């Protein structure tokens, strides 16, 4: 039984590492990297990513799953928060075998899961957000 938990934690760590690198690449997709304004914008967005990742575990603990994910989803379609929402929903769908894309998985969790499953999902996503925070701290330096 212990091996299952160790394996899940390793997968959680690896997935969150890939997500942070994906988000950094998403931020750095600018065409004109020689432009100082673009460089400043990229640096500020990287710092914004790190700040968001620092806040996520506390947001989940203080506000719960629905409010936190409504906040992430409500930031717009091309925002960093939206990308975190999508990647987190993919992780939840993987761990809990919810066969939906991000928006439908969120709706499914709100409407269909039992209270026990909801609590399990909330605990899992807090653990996932802690790993996102760790990797953001590691990958994004001042």
Work out the number of other CB atoms within 10 angstroms of the CB of residue 79.
15
Q: Can you give the pTM of this predicted structure?
A: 0.87
Neighbours of 116 (CB within 10 A): 8
Long-range contacts of 47-51 (CB under 8 A, 24+ apart): 47/140, 47/142, 48/80, 49/20, 49/23, 49/24, 49/80, 49/136, 49/140, 50/136, 50/137, 50/140
Task: Domain 2-139: give its CATH code.
Answer: 1.10.520.30
Domains of the chain, by residue range, sit at 2-139
C-alpha to C-alpha distance for 32 and 98, rounded to whole angstroms = 40
Q: What is the pLDDT along the chain (142 residues), one digit of tens a residue?
A: 556 667 888 999 999 999 999 999 988 886 665 667 777 788 888 999 999 999 999 999 999 999 999 999 888 777 889 999 999 999 999 999 887 665 688 888 988 889 999 999 999 999 999 999 999 999 887 5
């Amino acid at each position: 039984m212990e091996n299952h938990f160790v394996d899940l934690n390793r997968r959680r760590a690896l997935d969150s590492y890939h997500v942070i690198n994906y988000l950094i690449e998403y931020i750095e997709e600018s065409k004109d990297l020689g432009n100082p304004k673009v460089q400043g914008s990229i640096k500020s967005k990287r710092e914004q990513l790190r700040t968001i990742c620092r806040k996520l575990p506390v947001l989940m603990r203080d506000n719960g799953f629905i409010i936190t994910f409504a906040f992430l989803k409500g930031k717009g379609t091309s925002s960093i928060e939206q990308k975190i929402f999508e990647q987190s929903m993919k992780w939840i769908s993987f761990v809990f075998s919810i066969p939906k894309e991000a928006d439908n998985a969120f709706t499914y969790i709100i409407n269909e899961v039992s209270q026990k499953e909801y609590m399990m999902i909330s605990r899992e996503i807090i653990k996932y957000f802690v790993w996102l925070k760790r990797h953001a701290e590691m990958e994004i330096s001042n």
